Amino acid sequence: MSIWRHLTYGLRSLVHHRDRDRDAYDEVEQYFDEATAEWTARGLTPQEAKQAVRLEMGNMTATREQVRSYGWENTLSACWADLRFAGRQLRKHPVFTATAVLTLALGIGANTAIFTVVESVLLAPLPYRDARSISVLDTHWTNSGRTSPRVTGPDAADVREQARSFSAISLYNGGNEGVQLRNHSVYTRVTWTDANFWRVFRLEPRAGRLFTDGEAHRGAMVSEKFARDNFGNAQAAVGQTLHVENETIEITGVLPDWFEFPAHTQVWEAAPLNPESKSRTAFNYKAVVHLRAGVTLQAAQAELNGISHRLETVYPDANRSKVLMLQPLQQALTGDARPTLFLLWGTAGLILLIACVNVTHLELVRSMDRQREIAIRKALGATRWQVMRPVIFESLLVSLLGGTAGVLLAFPVVHLLLAMAPRELPRASEIHLNGWVLVFTLGLAVLSALVSSVLPALRAAKVDPAEALKRDTSRGMSRHGNASLRDGLVIAEVTATFVLAVGAGLLLHTMTNLMARNMGYETRQLLVVDADVPAHSLQDALRAVHQLDEMFVKLTALPGVEHVAGIMGLPTGNYGSNGYYQTRGGLPLDQGQEASAVFSVASPGYFQTMGIPIQRGRDFSGQDTYESPFVAVISESLARRSFGNADPVGKQIRCGLDSDKWMMVVGVVGDVRQDSPAEVPGPTLYMPMAQHPFYANQIHVVIRTHVQPLTLMKAVQEKILEVNPLVALRFTTMDAMMNRSIAVERFRAVLISSFAAAGLLLAMLGVYGTMAYSVTQRTFEIGIRMAFGAERSTILRTVLEHAAKLAFYGIAAGLVLSIALARLVTSMLVGVRPMDPLSLAAAAFLLVFTALCAALAPGWKAIHVNPMAALRTE
């Protein structure tokens, strides 16, 4: 019979299944009648003939069922019947169903939520045209292995001129800036970029047009959101003017909301096609490139290697060991987030594993309770597959219900993740549940069904009908292998939970260390104001310094204010700079090495305001003006590295911040952790604002207060705007900035601790289920022991010892697994060893305590068994 005829015949049979069954019954009955007639013709009596037919062919009912099992349509009907039977069984046992569904919902929901983030951030293609052809340029030093995401202007210009692998190369830089509009100022992200930027990303404006090569510092694009917030709509923004650093800029076009590269940019100001910086040691730019059609990343990198080698030959000092490298844009955007997201996905996978083990345990208990039913079915001729099928379908229904509940749970969990996520999480605006996530969830549900049903199904298939019908589980007569299997599942749960608890302990210990670390300054009672004073020329910058001094005087006079100062380069702040420096009279450097430091520009009184101790010399003063000899204050680590044990005060130092003038060191101050508590304090070079005015118009104003800092926001804003109403302002506190600097570490610690707590809950349910079932099975045995005088304390101790033994076995296995996985979290720890004794001890104690608590209720039930009632149990 052809496949088409098989298909059509099967479909007709499914539609007219009653007629099909009647025909099959009639056919079998006719066959039996003909066989009986044949035996009768051989001389047997009718009764003897029927008996001979039954001996030869079996029971007529069994034969009818065998005939009905032929064909794909009959298999489908049998599966549908088993599926309905599984559904009825789940309705009859609502406690089991609810427990299993909610357990899987927790595991599947956690995985769905984390996969939503992973898929949106790491796996989904970038929302740009031909995004796979977009890469970034990095600078790599072969002698040290260090890589910077920046390039110098001249290096990028040489690549643009010599490389043939790229259709467009664009340079950009920027940061948070004050933007002055007609009647107000806003604080937002501004990026300076050339007209090639649009060619790299193949962008089309929502309104207006893209700026051109000839509109440097005269034209700008804004985001659709910026246009709506400040002008009403996109079309109304076109042709409007705004001011950035005292430059008048015309808005030529509006970009769609989905485009905000670099992250959070709202204004893109036109910059010259040829970079303004001509230094080959000043890494002032980032660069994006678009590969030509048909050019691979490897071929483009080979061309860059050749260009880098030629530049090293021509400029041996500036370009020594320097290689320009390509990195795909998606990898560059998500590289820092990748380890954290994969760690979270791995921990969510452990939660799902624990959930599956728990459901497997529940299914095993159910299958053991149904052994008499299974034995009867096998005695009536059911095959192994027919016995296993209802168990598998029951698990499949539970998993599908758990998957559905998990998807519903994933919606609030994803929103919670986004609320908790650090601001640095890339592509956060693109995170949402989509079709791929739903397919992933369906796959998880099916996989969970297979994992949780395989052992119960195999157990069901191995049931011996004769032995099962004789067994009486109420009298403790179940096989030892069943108890060992359940104990093994609990040990597996405890093992996985211990790994989670150790990871959570390590990350929480890291957070404790970070919060307790000495930053080198006092963070409390410190209001921080981001202030951007418009300035473009030297006169503008000097005027801005004068206005800032006037602001500081006014702010100091406010009630509740103790000290006020300004700084470009505030620790954990948005603005900063670093680079190389040179000294006169300092220690010699190793061949081929240059000394580097953080560069900060500060006002007089900054160290007192921040609580940074002055170790030697003096602070900046009003006499350190633009016309006076240049001075500097250095940190302890810079003094130690560059001057050794000699007194650095009076020595000379210079850097490439904005001037090549030599500065006299007038003071030494304590070290600070510049970027976060996780950072090791490093060299810092402080310079007075009055002598470096181009870096003084965009600063943090720090205000030490006697009162809650944020209560002074309105008064501080009024005083600043009295001096210059065009200043763009944003308020925060030093505590908030420091907390934001460890947001990634907090995100990891909170989520993995939450997963560990969920694992503990599931492990507790597993231990409780095992102990409760064990006590129920041993009721008869416990009754006998109590009838012969066993103490209640002995019975309770037996139950608790069993639970503790399972916990210790799981902890031992978890310890081995934790040692094997330790390297995965080593880079995320600060001040904590991967095998931290405190974290291991805390996790072990927690697991033992959880197991004992879970065993208390079954133990309490065991010691209150009535011996006479137990002995009468059938």
Measured on CA atoms in the order 807, 809, 813, 819, is the torsion positive or negative? positive
Distance CA 256, CA 541 (A): 34
Per residue in 242-272, pLDDT tens?
988 888 999 999 999 889 899 889 999 999 9
What's residue 703's pLDDT? 96
Neighbouring residues of 533: CB distance < 8 A, sequence distance ≥ 6: 178, 544, 547, 548, 697, 698, 724, 726, 727
The separation between CA 164 and the C-alpha centre of its own chain, rounded to angstroms, equals: 38
What's residue 825's pLDDT? 85
Distance CA 346, CA 821 (A): 11
Per residue in 547-589, pLDDT tens?
999 999 999 999 999 999 999 999 998 878 888 899 988 888 7
Q: How many helices (H) and strands (E) does the chain have?
A: 28, 22
Dmax (CA) for the chain in angstroms is 136
DSSP lists the bridge partners of residue 530 as 700, 730
Per residue in 726-784, pLDDT tens?
888 999 999 999 988 888 888 888 888 888 888 888 888 878 777 776 776 666 677 77
Distance CA 92, CA 79 (A): 20
Choice between 865 and 602, residue whose per-residue pLDDT is larger: 602
Which tokens belong to 33? Answer: 């009648």
What's residue 363's pLDDT? 77
3 state DSSP class of 346? helix
Distance CA 492, CA 496 (A): 6
Choice between 455 and 295, residue whose per-residue pLDDT is larger: 295
The separation between CA 832 and the C-alpha centre of its own chain, rounded to angstroms, equals: 21
Choice between 767 and 8, residue whose per-residue pLDDT is larger: 767
What's residue 767's pLDDT? 81
Question: Is the pLDDT at 99 greater than 90, yes or no?
Answer: no
Q: Name the CA dihedral angle for 587, 593, 594, 596, rounded to a multiple of 10 degrees.
A: -100
Choice between 473 and 722, residue whose per-residue pLDDT is larger: 722
Which tokens belong to 663? Answer: 């500065």
What's residue 618's pLDDT? 95
Question: Is the pLDDT at 14 greater than 50, yes or no?
Answer: no
3 state DSSP class of 545? helix
Question: For 517, phi and psi rounded to 5 degrees?
Answer: -70, 145
What's residue 554's pLDDT? 94
Q: List strand residue ranges (DSSP E) for 614-715, in order.
A: 614-617, 631-635, 652-655, 663-669, 684-688, 698-705
Which tokens belong to 3? Answer: 């496949």
Which tokens belong to 513? Answer: 């260390």
What's residue 520's pLDDT? 92
Which tokens belong to 124? Answer: 């989904």
Distance CA 573, CA 815 (A): 41
DSSP lists the bridge partners of residue 167 as none
How far CA 122 is from CA of 36, 665, 857, in Å, comes to 73, 48, 46
Choice between 686 and 350, residue whose per-residue pLDDT is larger: 686
Cis peptide before 456 (omega within 30 of 0): no
Residue with tokens 């005015």: 693
What's residue 466's pLDDT? 53
Distance CA 437, CA 119 (A): 8
What's residue 305's pLDDT? 94
Question: Is the pLDDT at 382 greater than 80, yes or no?
Answer: no
pLDDT exceeding 70 applies to what percent of the chain?
A: 84
Distance CA 448, CA 356 (A): 6
Distance CA 7, CA 76 (A): 12
3 state DSSP class of 157? helix
Q: How many residues does the chain have?
A: 874
Which tokens belong to 205? Answer: 């404006």
Q: HSE (CB half, 13 Å, CA atoms) of 99?
A: 18
Most confident of 421-430, 435-444, 707-716: 707-716
Average pLDDT over residues 610-626: 94
Cis peptide before 262 (omega within 30 of 0): yes
CB 544 within 8 A of CB 696: yes
Task: Look at 190-194, 318-322, 324-328 and tell me which has the smallest mean pLDDT.
Answer: 318-322
- Burial (Cβ within 10 Å: 0-12, 13-18, ≥19) of residue 59: exposed
DSSP lists the bridge partners of residue 699 as 531
Choice between 230 and 54, residue whose per-residue pLDDT is larger: 230
Question: Is the pLDDT at 476 greater than 50, yes or no?
Answer: no
Average pLDDT over residues 104-131: 88
Please name the helix (run of DSSP H) or strand (run of DSSP E) that holds residue 179, with its range, or none: strand 166-180
Distance CA 507, CA 485 (A): 34
Distance CA 737, CA 524 (A): 11
Neighbouring residues of 90: CB distance < 8 A, sequence distance ≥ 6: 96, 97, 394, 397, 398
What's residue 813's pLDDT? 92
How far CA 366 is from CA of 96, 359, 482, 757, 858, in Å, comes to 9, 10, 12, 27, 18
CB 670 within 8 A of CB 520: yes
* Reported pTM: 0.78
CB 516 within 8 A of CB 605: no
CB atoms within 10 A of CB 254: 26
What's residue 165's pLDDT? 93
- Burial (Cβ within 10 Å: 0-12, 13-18, ≥19) of residue 56: exposed
What's residue 72's pLDDT? 45
Per residue in 819-840, pLDDT tens?
888 888 888 888 888 888 988 9
Which tokens belong to 531? Answer: 């202030």
What's residue 762's pLDDT? 84
What's residue 853's pLDDT? 87
3 state DSSP class of 528? strand
Measured on CA atoms in the order 228, 232, 238, 239, is the torsion positive or negative? negative
Task: Look at 27-31, 37-41, 332-336, 584-588 and tell me which has the smallest mean pLDDT.
Answer: 27-31
What's residue 75's pLDDT? 60
pLDDT band at 387 (very low <50, low <70, confident <90, very high): low
pLDDT band at 418 (very low <50, low <70, confident <90, very high): confident
Residue with tokens 């405190």: 838
